[in-house]
Amino acid sequence: MKTIKNILAVVLITGMLFNCSNDDDMPTGPTGPNFTGTFAQQDQMGRPAVNTVFVSSSSKDDFNITVPSNQNAAFQAMFQANLEALSPAYANPGDMNALGLDSAAFTGLLATDVLNVSLDGTTTFFDGTNVLTGRALADDVITVELLLIFGGEDFTENPGLSNDNVDANDKPFLSSFPYLAAPW
Amino acid sequence: MKNFKHLLGISSLVVAGIILLSADHIDAPAVQGSTSDITDFYAFEGKDNHNMVFVANVQGLLSPSATADAAFDENVMIEFNIDNNGDNIEDLVIQVIQRNKKMYFVGPIVPNQTGLVSTLSPNFSKDGTSVKITPYGEEPIIGKSQNGISVFAGPRDDPFFFDFAQFGKILNPNDPATSFNNPGTDTFAGTNVLSVVIEVPKELLGNSDSINTWVETKLKQ
């Protein structure tokens, strides 16, 4: 109940500030749009396809409302079981992917679903050199993930499973803001 | 890594889980098909390398004929979370919400509280920047703030690409497929999403060399 009380306090303060405001330059008129209220989490996402691939059906909603700092404790074991079911070689002792991560280490990385982003270097999911330093629009993230799941220690295993052979978007991206292509 | 398909019989839960759509499209029952369903999240260096770009896409798999009527939900706040000290707890947030066909952006700011429940900045509309949501079929409308932030909101081509249909066949024990096709077929070709794009000077993200970042949708209670 303590949290709820805190929320109510914030709401009340927010409401008071709005009531006290007498600015005429609010964007949509003297009263301005209403931005009060509390907002509760519905969905979240860090890295692509993590919830889709590694979280069991019955836990997908829970995963979306578990803060990242608690995800490893809550979900790493499930991630590992699902990875080893999907790609059985990972169940063999010592089996690793091309990042040198075994089943426990790889799922330990993935279970905390945040995107790691460099502020002083190349930003890419994987470009052959840099790994997990961001996610650019053109990054072939699915093939990278398939390679890490099925491709074994040197990306040569299960070639039929480790590349979907769709390597680029269906429209070219823009070179400047807003970067995404116009809709169809 | 052999016998992939043979083991599928004992991993039906995994298979059932995967035969939902991908990157984060339709990832979970509670948000599937709703206005708070995040489809994708990107973070990359801008054309100006002093800037970082964040992209959140929602409401995926829009056909061209359905795109003009698709709209951001006034009750769904999109929140970009930025951890700049490595504990996976947000130190800064960028909050985004629609009002009257305009998108309002505030941040990066220190949130009132971290975690699953949020309130908006008290001076939300004054502290941030706003931009008219770009209507379907029109050139992108770009909002700019005095501190170097650019913002956009509106329909875009879904930038995600994946032969998801073939992946589903591979995982289906009743389907003879055992590998991807070459060339593959992009399941997301020809579909649109509703996009929010914000470009921020890196100096507004803190002093660290890297960040951990994720995006959330939060529904007004």
Domain shared by A96 and A149, yes or no: yes
Task: Give the domain extent around A77.
Answer: 50-154
Which pair of structure tokens corresponds to residue A1?
């109940």
Tally the residues of chain B.
221
The verdict on residue A182 lying in a domain is: no
pLDDT tens-place string over residues B178-200:
999 999 999 999 999 999 999 99
Sheet with strand B38-45: strands edge to edge: B38-45, B51-62, B192-201, B150-157, B143-144
Domain shared by A100 and A146, yes or no: yes
Domain shared by A131 and A70, yes or no: yes
Q: Angle CA(B122)–CA(A40)–CA(B205) in degrees, nearest 5?
A: 60
CA B67/CA B69 separation, integer angstroms: 5
DSSP-derived letter for residue A174 is P
Task: Give the domain extent around B147.
Answer: 35-164+180-219
Residue type, B116: L
What is the rounded end-to-end Cα distance, in angstroms, of chain A?
48
Q: Do B14 and A56 touch (CB under 8 A)?
A: yes
The verdict on residue B6 lying in a domain is: no
Query: What would the mean pLDDT of A96-104 be, rounded to a whole number?
Result: 96
CA A93/CA B139 separation, integer angstroms: 55
DSSP-derived letter for residue A173 is P
The verdict on residue A115 lying in a domain is: yes
B19 has a chain A CB within 8 A of its CB: no
Interface confidence, given as ipTM, is 0.90
Domain shared by A103 and A22, yes or no: no
Q: Do B24 and A178 touch (CB under 8 A)?
A: no
Query: pLDDT averaged over chain B?
Result: 89
Contacting B residues, span 160-199, partner chain A, CB-CB under 8 Å: 160-163, 166-167, 170, 178-186, 188-192, 195, 197, 199
Domain shared by A71 and A136, yes or no: yes
Q: Confidence class of residue B24 from pLDDT cuts 50, 70 and 90? A: confident
For chain A, the domain total comes to: 2
Domain shared by A130 and A92, yes or no: yes
The verdict on residue B20 lying in a domain is: no
Domain shared by A91 and A145, yes or no: yes
The verdict on residue B198 lying in a domain is: yes
Q: Do B67 and A36 touch (CB under 8 A)?
A: no
pLDDT score recorded for residue B32: 75
Query: What would the mean pLDDT of B67-88 be, rounded to a whole number?
Result: 97
The verdict on residue A184 lying in a domain is: no
- Cα-based distances in Å from B120 to A34, A77, B55, B161: 10, 35, 20, 34
The verdict on residue A70 lying in a domain is: yes
pLDDT score recorded for residue A131: 95
pLDDT score recorded for residue A102: 97
